[in-house]
């Protein structure tokens, strides 16, 4: 494969199964047997290895596997100014299983500050070699949606307009800070747009007093404000996820309810879209993707099981998608990460790498 501008024809969403060395080190760190410096040294070595494995599979873009995180989103929120994690009454409900009970609330003015994940990216960049280092962080809408109005201090933000302005500015500062650290490929991970596609989730949103259609407009505005002034040589992608915890999921429904706003107005460079099963709907919503403007990275390879997809079947689906968006704008990836939380999905590391190799194999044959 020829090296291309991000996103690559063969791409990944970000997280990989945590190796035993990291799992053991975290247990020792929690019990006080090792300190933070020793834990980081174990993480460094594991990240170096996972980068090598990604390159060996033929990827031209690499991540750190999110190996320093327990969660895809909470760990990033922890590093923001004005955000506090707390023990919630219950975890996030997936299909038949709940996560650990954590929540986040906004207790003072939001800000990006000197975020610790900047150093995480710098390390990844230092070991990425000829591959491009990609950083993954949650999307701003996730911070608002997770708790809504009840988790935003009324004395700090009596009006939500000011909150959304600061939310956009915080992510704008994040985008520029990662760029200054050398990042040229940044991915925003977002479960909320998928919730807005789900009839059941839309019902729950209305029951808590929000209008799902207005939220879509608000989140689009926040994203576009965050992207204002983005450097031309920085690729920002948006991954839309229906939930990924121990191979389970939360929301279902095609992209049609948000397609015109999301694909037609949000100014990211690429959309990473889950399309690994019937819960994702058909490709018709892709007709709203602006011609020549953005890449569509189709997640046709599932990370929720180890069974390999039929390459010819995947190629047929790529051709089907090309009826709605130009083939030149299409790329291929797994549907999500392999371990959005440290628990990981229900497949082996060997199956994980077989999936990645399948992505690069198909991409090399198609493009």
- Is the pLDDT reported for residue 286 higher than 80? yes
Torsion angles phi and psi, residue 80, rounded to 5? -85, 150
Give the per-residue pLDDT at 2.
35
- Is the pLDDT reported for residue 3 higher than 70? no
Using CA atoms, how far residue 289 sits from 29, 173, 250, 281, 349, in Å, is 46, 27, 25, 16, 35
Summarised one tens digit per residue, pLDDT across range 130-142 is 999 999 999 999 9
SS3 133: strand
Please, what's the largest Cα pairwise distance for the chain? 57
- Give the Cα separation of 83 and 160 in Å (integer): 16
Give the per-residue pLDDT at 304.
83
Give the per-residue pLDDT at 22.
95
SS3 244: coil
Summarised one tens digit per residue, pLDDT across range 291-344 is 987 999 999 999 988 899 999 999 999 999 999 999 999 999 999 999 888 887
Summarised one tens digit per residue, pLDDT across range 165-208 is 999 999 999 999 999 999 999 999 998 998 898 888 788 888 88
Q: Which range is least confidently modeled, 83-97, 268-282, 351-365?
A: 83-97
- The angle formed by the CA atoms of residues 17, 22 and 25, to the nearest 5 degrees, is 155
Residue 203: CB atoms within 10 A of its CB come to 10
The tokens describing 175, both together, are 């985008």
- Is the pLDDT reported for residue 44 higher than 60? yes
């Amino acid at each position: 494969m020829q090296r291309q501008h991000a996103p690559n024809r063969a791409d990944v969403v970000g997280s990989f199964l945590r190796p035993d060395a990291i799992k053991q080190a975290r247990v020792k760190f929690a019990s006080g047997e090792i300190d933070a410096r020793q834990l980081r040294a174990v993480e460094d070595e594991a990240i170096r290895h996972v980068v090598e494995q990604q390159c060996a599979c033929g990827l031209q873009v690499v991540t750190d596997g999110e190996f320093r995180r327990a969660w895809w989103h909470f760990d990033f929120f922890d590093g923001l100014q004005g955000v506090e994690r707390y023990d919630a009454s219950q975890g996030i409900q997936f299909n038949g299983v709940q996560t650990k009970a954590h929540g986040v609330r906004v207790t003072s003015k939001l800000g990006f500050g000197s975020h610790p994940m900047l150093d995480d990216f710098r390390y990844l960049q230092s070991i990425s070699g000829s591959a491009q280092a990609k950083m993954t962080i949650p999307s701003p809408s996730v911070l608002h949606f997770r708790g809504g109005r009840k988790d935003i201090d009324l004395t700090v933000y009596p009006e939500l307009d000011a909150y959304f302005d600061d939310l956009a500015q915080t992510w704008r500062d994040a985008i520029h800070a990662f760029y200054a650290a050398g990042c040229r490929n940044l991915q925003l991970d977002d479960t909320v747009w998928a919730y807005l596609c789900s009839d059941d989730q839309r019902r729950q949103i209305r029951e808590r007093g929000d209008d799902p259609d207005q939220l879509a407009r608000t989140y689009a505005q926040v994203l576009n404000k965050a992207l204002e002034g983005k450097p031309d040589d920085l690729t920002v992608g948006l991954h839309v996820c229906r939930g990924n915890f121990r191979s389970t999921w939360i929301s279902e429904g095609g992209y049609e309810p948000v397609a015109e706003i999301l694909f037609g107005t949000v100014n990211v460079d690429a959309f990473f879209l889950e399309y690994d099963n019937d819960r994702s709907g058909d490709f018709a919503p892709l007709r709203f993707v602006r011609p020549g403007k953005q890449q569509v990275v189709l997640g046709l390879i599932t990370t929720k099981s180890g069974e390999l997809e039929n390459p010819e079947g995947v190629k047929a689906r790529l051709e089907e998608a090309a009826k709605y968006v130009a083939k030149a704008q299409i790329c291929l990836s797994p549907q999500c990460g392999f371990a959005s939380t440290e628990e990981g999905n229900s497949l082996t590391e060997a199956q994980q790498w077989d999936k990645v190799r399948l992505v690069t194999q198909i991409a090399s044959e198609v493009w």
